[in-house]
Amino acid sequence: MRKIKRYYHYFYYKIYRSIEYTSEQMGGKFLTDFKAGIVMTALEIWIILSLYNYYTVITKQNLHLSFKNPLIYIPFIIIILLKWRNFTNKNQWENYHNDFDQLPKEVNKKGGWVVFGITAFIILNLVFSFYLMMQIDWSKYR
């Protein structure tokens, strides 16, 4: 469990550093931790959404989720609690940044490519899950 948490923190760290770098290039270096948090939240929501899409494709049951249904809020609450638990203490994050900054340059470079690959996979996975949803002829299942 500790290793998974470290990978999660490293993933955030690499997203944070890439946002920091691109923000510096474009002259808008502010709220970098907030931007990185939004990216992480979006990726996690996209994972949940693609799982919902795959469930719908496999079972051919459209769950008709609505915001009136309290079950829809559970994944969002879990994501928010994870963010609050892992990323609210600024001193803790400075330690993580210092720790990850001291990794060898080659390890950080490989880690950056791994994070890029995982991010691309999450985005492509979401697009593919929507593609599969569009292939279902719902008139047969009503």
**Which pLDDT value is given to residue 96?**
80
CB 17 within 8 A of CB 94: no
Round to whole Å and give the CA distance between 73 and 77: 6
CB atoms within 10 A of CB 80: 12
* Number of separate domains in the chain: 1
Which residue stretches of the chain have pLDDT < 70?
27-28, 63-67, 69, 86-91, 138, 141-142
**Which pLDDT value is given to residue 129?**
94
pTM, rounded to two decimals: 0.81
57 sits in the region (left: phi over 0; alpha: psi -120 to 50; else beta) called: alpha
Give 108-124 as a DSSP string. HHHHHHHHHHHHHHHHH
Segments forming the whole domain that contains residue 58: 2-141
**Which pLDDT value is given to residue 137?**
75
